[in-house]
Structure 1
Amino acid sequence: MVMGTTGSKLEKALGEHFPEGERYFGLENFGNTCYCNSVLQALYFCVPLREQLLRYHENNKNIGDIEENLLTCLADLFSQINSQKKKTGVISPRRFVQRVKKQNELFRSYMHQDAHEFLNFLLNDLVDILEKESNVAKVSPEASSSSSSSAKVANRLSNSHVNGVQKEPLVTWVHNIFQGTLTNETRCLQCETVTARDETFLDLSVDIEQNSSITCCLKNFSSTETLNAEDKFFCDKCCSLQEAEKRMKIKKSPNILVIHLKRFKYVEQLGRYKKLSYRVVFPLELKLNNTIEDSDAEYSLFAVVVHVGIGPNHGHYVSLVKSHNHWLCFDDETVEMVDESSVQTFFGSAQEFSNNTDHGYILFYQKS
């Protein structure tokens, strides 16, 4: 692809400070695919993920019969960017976008799509592919021959159960990078018994309020709610419905913490979703104070997917990325340097009606 003027401008701006071996490439837009491009840029600069995908591409590039899927297309795209001779320019993610559309009909139209839905779909699909590959790898050579179908069945059963006990689910490198654990605690107010249930997450979706901060949003996420009246909790110890207190806590913090700000709210009177342009401050350095296993997990912000526009069905996505202590803005084909202080312009608006429509939507933090 021919390098545009923005590329040469960026090289001039960085000059001798251009990071060794790094590539800053814009992505071609195929008609409303900015939701995909913005997420891809944030993920490319998620270094642990990039390294895994480049390794995956290296290990699989000579295997002729590997079936094309989202993982192979993503690894191929990252490898293409990483191996460019030029430092800047534009790359076409056509093969990857075609695969996304083939895989999920939600993304087939030319309508405005949701970047968070896309991120969710992509990470879960990568997990599915890695789990399938792991299961195939576990099948022994004898079991793979067509004559021994009984061996295949026995192998499949032995993979899922050991002495009648269900095995732990497979932990892939996607889990190692993005997965954290929440614990849902319910305390019976009659007998004080606490019931805890764990669940995993790849990203956290948090409610937002006007003039708040990420710390405040996460506090509200973990706040205690009382279950009473029609919402009483069935306590196993009391063997009856009881009033209870319930709260969600982060038990294990992930290496990469992805926070999705719920900026789109369904308004019944309007019969549609409305965008909340609330001002929510997201710091460059974040401390997670409410985690159980890691009392003071510290994170650094390295990417922000920004929604530009006044509503959920129209608009545009760009991403801000921190790479080697420089902040860059990726807007489809265009890449330019921005000041660190400009990150604050994406916090949102303190007034209900404002000309500023560019708001932080998905935040990517890396554990320090």
Structure 2
Amino acid sequence: MVPLVPVTKATQEIDSVGLLSLKCMFNLLEDSDSSDYFHIYSRGLTNSGNICYMNSILQVLIYCEPFNKLFRILEQKSTGSLNESKTPLIDAIISIFRDFSTSGTKSLSPEGFYMKLSGHRKFQHLKWGQQEDAEEFLGYLLDGLHEELVHSIREVNNEQISLLLETVADNETKLQIKNAIKIIKKLNNSSNGGNDNDNSNDDDDNEGWNEIGGGHKKVSSKRTVEIEPSPIKTIFGGQFRSVLQIPNKKDQSITLDPFQCIQLDIKADQINNIEDAFKQLNEPEQIPFKLNDNKEVLAKKQTFIDSLPDVLVIHLKRFSFENVNNGNIEKLRKKIEYTHKLSIPLELFSNWRKSVNRDYKLTGVVYHHGIIAEGGHYTCDVLRPMTVSDSSRWIRIDDTSINNIDEDDVLSNDDDTKNAYLLFYQKL
């Protein structure tokens, strides 16, 4: 592998971060090759302040190929300075990638990265020396990066958009770009950053716009919770379809909800593997529903997967808050089996979505060590991608300690205090 070579305006076409984000989202970049990835050297991260949660997440993201490629492209081909910009989180991630692209084996210090984060409004709760939850940290980080990219897209002017559309031959892609920009500009006026697409319909007391069946009759009303699109959502974002069937009503009420991480409940005794947990996610549930005449009925709600991301993050819900009033958050230490290849069960998909690619390969695991939720320790296993000079291989990272492991070691865990907490799967 060769060390990172600085890229200048003389050697690359330069765009704004916003324009590059649009090109990444719709695969409009030309001459994509191996130079569009940071070449990563295996390096540990020091931990002098209970930041193992951050170290583990950073290591998994650094080896995540779509994430790596996005930030390599932003680093290579975007305008702006890393000294002062409107994208401090993006700059911090690029800085980490640059550190890992420098040859050597000495562990790196993430304290500079941590200090940049702690000065950001999303991370003001961070306290040096205080353990945090790895899944929550991942969510804050991805949300922050998403917001910076959306803000950058919002700054793309109409002339730039028109020039971009002129380079697109496919009409469907043109329409998708226009819709993405429309959503971003529309939600810019929303205080919560999200919006229910809800065009009320007087018929049958339903809300939303209608889905039409084969006989051209209304079969359901649908509400979409909209969020701004960005390259982060392209990589990690999927969508649930929640179907609500109300007694004595012919129509179904459908809500489309975005997700960035699938939360799987593993508490039930019958859940022993990932497939069991996915199937429980799809189990119908009875929920109280109040009609317009204030009469309460039991409606049936069922959750399906409507779309899947390129990188699927699975959160195994190991922390139970049922006994929180007693001062304890219970940790579920049961073994949950998972595999290197994952095929999401077909029954989880809506009827018209069953043809989607649902096959994934495991690329990272974040573990929580300890018998209680408070405190503990985080480590990770990551799949190092194949390079020109080396085949793909698994490595185990515990802050500054890095060891090669067999792929079977990723699936076996005999220590019930070390438990898989986050699983990262990349679409095949």
One-letter amino acid of the structure 1 residue matched with residue 276 of structure 2: C
What is the distance in 1 between the residues matched to 2:422 and 2:184? 41
8 Å contact from structure 2 (residues 367, 379) kept in 1? yes
Count of residue pairs brought into register by the alignment: 318
Paired residue secondary structure (1:112): coil
Q: Deviations over 1:64-106 (max 9, x none)?
A: 6424611110111112212x133x3322222211122222122
2: CA distance, partners of 1:93 / 1:78: 12
Instruction: Tell me: CA distance 1:68–1:92, structure 2 relative to 1, closer, same or farther (3 Å).
Output: farther
- What secondary structure does 1:199 align onto? strand
Is 2:243 the partner of 1:176?
A: no
Aligned ranges 1:337-356 → 2 under 5 Å: 337-346=404-413, 356=416
Corresponding residue for 2:285? 225
Aligned with 1:317 (options 378, 403, 408): 378
Structure 2 vs 1, CA of residues 186 and 74 (structure 1 numbering), >3 Å: closer, same or farther?
A: same
> Is the 2:40–2:100 Cα contact (8 Å) retained in structure 1?
no
SS of equivalent to 2:412: helix
Contact 2:150/2:184 (8 A) holds in 1: no
Report if the CA contact (8 A) 1:54-1:79 is conserved. no
1:10 is matched with: none
Matching of residue 46 in structure 1 with residue 64 in structure 2: yes
Structure ranking higher on relative contact order (CA contacts 8 Å, 6+ apart):
1
Supply the AA of the counterpart residue of 1:273: I
Structure 2 segments unaligned to the other structure (5+ residues): 1-37, 161-181, 188-195, 198-225, 387-391
- The CA deviation at 1:35 is 0.2
CA deviation vs aligned residue, 1:167-187 (integer Å, no higher than 9, x gap): 975421101100100011001
Matched, 1:102 2:102: no
Contact 2:57/2:366 (CA < 8 Å) preserved in 1?
yes
Divergent runs of 4+, >6 A:
none
Q: Do the aligned residues in 2 keep the contact of 1:320 with 1:329 (CA within 8 Å)? A: yes
1:150-161 to structure 2, matched below 5 A, reads: 159-160=185-186
Query: Are the equivalent residues in 2 in contact too, given 1:299–1:366 (CA < 8 A)?
Result: yes
Indicate conservation of the 8 Å contact 1:57/1:76, yes or no. no
Structure 2 matches for 1:321-336, cutoff 5 A? 321-323=382-384, 324=386, 325-336=392-403
Any idea what the Cα deviations from partners look like across 1:23-70, whole Å, max 9, x if unmatched?
111112131010000000111111000111111122347536424611
Counterpart in 1 of 2:45? 27
The aligned residue for residue 343 of structure 2 is 287
1:267: how far off?
3.4
CA distance in 1, matches of 2:136, 2:284: 28
- The whole-number CA distance in structure 2 between the counterparts of 1:97 and 1:112 is 13
Q: Is the 8 A contact 1:24 1:89 kept in 2?
A: no
Instruction: Select the residue among 131, 149, 153 that pairs with 1:112.
Output: 131
* Alignment of structure 1 residues 193-342 onto 2, 5 Å: 193-209=251-267, 210=269, 212-227=272-287, 231-234=288-291, 241-268=296-323, 270-289=326-345, 290-292=348-350, 293-295=353-355, 297-323=358-384, 324=386, 325-342=392-409
| Equivalent-residue separation in structure 2 for 1:80 and 1:61 (angstroms) | 20
1:136 aligns with 2:147: no
Q: Is the 8 A contact 2:367 2:378 kept in 1?
A: yes
Cα distance change on mapping 1:62 and 1:221 into 2, 3 Å: same
Structure-to-structure mapping, 1:58-69, within 5 angstroms: 58-60=76-78, 63=81, 65-67=84-86, 69=88
Residue in 1 aligned with 2:89?
A: 70
Query: Which deviates more, 39-48 or 264-273?
Result: 264-273
Select which of 348, 363, 368 maps to 2:423: 363
Relative distance call for 1:297 and 1:66 in structure 2 (3 A) is: same
- The verdict on how the C-alpha distance between 1:266 and 1:95 changes in structure 2, with shifts beyond 3 A counting, is same
Give distance in 2, aligned partners of 1:128 and 1:158: 11
Q: Once the two structures are superposed, what CA deviation does each residue of 1:141-160 show, in whole Å capped at 9, x if it has no partner?
A: 9xxxxxxxxxxxxxx99943
Q: Distance in 1 between matches of 2:237 and 2:185?
A: 23
Offset from partner CA, 1:163-210 (integer Å, 9 cap, x none) = xxx997542110110010001100123234211010101111111134
What TM-score comes out, normalization by structure 1 length?
0.79
Distance verdict in 2 for CA 1:73–1:243, change over 3 Å: same
* Cα gap change, 1:50 to 1:157, in 2 (>3 Å): closer
Deviations 1:237-259 (A, max 9, x none): x9964332101111111111100
**Structure 2 match to 1:85:** 103
Give the CA RMSD over aligned residues: 2.9
Query: Does structure 2 retain, via aligned residues, the 8 Å contact 1:203–1:257?
Result: yes
Match for residue 145 of structure 1? Answer: none
**2:396–2:403: 8 Å Cα contact kept in structure 1?**
yes
Instruction: Tell whether the 8 Å contact from 2:334 to 2:416 is kept in structure 1 after alignment.
Output: no
Q: Deviations over 1:260-304 (max 9, x none)?
A: 011011132633201110111111111112123244611111000
Distance 1:46 1:222, change over 3 A: same
AA matched with 1:305: V
Could you tell me the TM-score, scaled by structure 2's length? 0.68
AA aligned to 1:90 is S
Amino acid at match of 2:299: A
Aligned to 2:44, the other structure's residue is in SS state: strand
Higher strand fraction: Structure 1 or Structure 2? 1
Give ranges in structure 1 of 5+ residues lacking alignment: 1-19, 142-155, 350-354
The residue identity in structure 2 corresponding to 1:96 is F
